[in-house]
C-alpha cells in the first residue's frame, strides 16, 4: 500500500487492551478473547484505511504525517481511557520447559508457535489466493492493477484489516507474557521498523529473516555484554547490510 504505518505499534497495544478487558470484565478465556480481539481491531483497520490513509494514497510524505498523528492520537486516547498503570491479564500456560539445561517459559514457546503459524498463513494468503495476488499487483503498480479490474479500495481495506488483526494477536500474546500499557507499542514499532529495514520493505521472507537475526542478537548479546550493546550490535548489523544492499536483504525495486 506504500504506507509506513508508524501507528502499527498502537494497533498492537489496542489488541492487548481488547483481550485484557474481554478476559477481566467479561470472563472470556484467553483463547476466546484472542480471535475476538483480532476481529474487533481488524474492523478498526477498515476505518483507518478509509478515513485516514485512503485520502492520501499516492502521497507518501503525507501518509507518514498521518500515521505519526494517528500514533499520537491513539496513544493519548489509551492514556485517558485506560490510565498509565500497567495491567496484567495473566499467563496463558503456566510453567516452564527445560531442554538441555535451557529453561523457557511455556507462554513464550506458545507465542513463537503462533507466530510461525500466522506467518505461514499470511504467506499462503499472498501467494496462493486471488486476493493476495491482487495485493501484490497493487503494491507493484496501483494504476495498472486498477485497469485490470482490481478493486483497489477493497483490497487496500483487506490488507489493513489483515495487518491490524495480526498486530492485535501479537499484542495480546505479548500482553499475556509481560504487561499491558499505553506505551507498549513504542518498543514493538521500533523493533518492527528495524526488522523491515533489515529484511527489505514489502518482503515477508525478509521480515522473517530480519526478525530472526535481530532476535538472536537480542537473545545472545545481553548475557555476554549488556542490553545496550545488543542494541548497538543490532543497528550495526543493519548499517552493514544496508552498505552492501541498500534495499535490505530481500528488498526489491
pLDDT in tens, 76-88: 999 999 998 999 8
Residues 152 and 220 in one domain: no
| Torsion 79-83-86-92 (CA) sign | negative
Give pTM, 2 decimals.
0.91
Q: Is residue 202 part of a domain?
A: yes
Judgement on whether residues 148 and 221 belong to the same structural domain of the protein: no
Residues 115 and 240 in one domain: no
59 and 102 in a common domain = yes
Which of residues 136, 160, 181 is at a domain's end? 181
Domain C-terminal end among 138, 156, 181: 181
Residue 67 and residue 7 in contact, taking contact as beta carbons nearer than 8 Å:
yes
Give dist(CA 45, CA 54) in Å, integer.
12
Q: Which residues pair with 103 in a beta bridge?
A: 98
Which structural domain, as residue segments, surrounds residue 114? 8-181
Between residues 58 and 178, the one the model is more confident about: 178
Q: Do residues 23 and 145 both lie within one domain?
A: yes
Domain count, the chain: 2
Residue 252's pLDDT band, with cuts at 50, 70 and 90, is low
197 and 221, same domain (yes or no): yes
Q: How far is CA 63 from its chain centroid? A: 18
Q: What distance in Å separates the CA atoms of residue 6 and residue 65, rounded to the nearest whole number?
A: 9
Question: Residue 167's pLDDT is what?
Answer: 96
- pLDDT (0 to 100) of residue 130: 95
Separation between Cα atoms, residue 55 and residue 57, nearest integer Å: 6
- pLDDT top residue among 193 and 37: 37
In 3D space, the residue among 253, 14, 6, 27 whose CA is nearest the CA of residue 140 turns out to be 253
Question: Is position 3 within any domain?
Answer: no
| Joined grid coordinates for residue 151 | 478493486
pLDDT at position 202 is: 77
Amino acid at each position: 500500500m506504500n504506507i509506513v504505518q508508524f501507528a502499527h505499534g498502537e494497533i498492537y497495544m489496542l489488541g492487548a487492551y481488547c483481550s485484557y478487558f474481554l478476559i477481566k470484565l467479561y470472563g472470556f478465556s484467553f483463547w476466546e478473547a484472542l480471535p475476538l480481539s483480532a476481529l474487533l481491531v481488524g474492523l478498526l483497520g477498515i476505518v483507518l484505511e478509509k478515513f485516514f490513509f485512503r485520502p492520501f494514497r499516492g502521497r507518501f510524505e503525507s501518509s507518514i504525517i498521518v500515521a505519526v498523528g494517528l500514533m499520537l492520537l491513539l496513544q493519548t486516547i489509551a492514556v485517558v481511557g485506560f490510565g498509565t498503570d500497567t495491567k496484567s491479564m495473566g499467563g496463558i500456560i503456566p510453567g516452564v520447559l527445560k531442554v538441555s539445561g535451557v529453561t523457557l517459559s511455556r507462554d513464550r514457546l506458545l507465542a513463537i508457535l503462533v507466530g510461525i503459524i500466522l506467518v505461514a498463513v499470511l504467506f499462503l494468503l499472498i501467494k496462493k489466493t486471488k486476493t493476495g495476488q491482487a495485493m501484490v499487483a497493487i503494491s507493484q503498480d496501483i494504476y495498472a492493477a486498477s485497469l485490470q479490474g482490481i478493486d483497489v479500495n477493497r483490497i487496500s481495506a483487506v490488507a489493513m484489516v489483515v495487518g491490524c488483526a495480526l498486530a492485535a494477536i501479537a499484542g495480546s500474546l505479548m500482553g499475556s507474557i509481560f504487561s499491558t500499557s499505553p506505551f507498549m507499542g513504542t518498543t514493538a514499532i521500533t523493533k518492527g521498523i528495524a526488522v523491515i529495514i533489515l529484511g527489505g520493505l514489502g518482503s515477508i521472507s525478509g521480515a522473517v529473516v530480519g526478525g530472526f537475526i535481530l532476535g538472536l542478537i537480542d537473545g545472545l548479546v545481553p548475557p555476554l555484554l549488556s542490553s545496550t550493546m545488543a542494541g548497538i550490535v543490532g543497528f550495526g548489523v543493519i548499517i552493514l547490510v544496508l552498505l552492501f544492499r541498500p534495499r535490505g536483504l530481500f528488498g526489491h525495486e
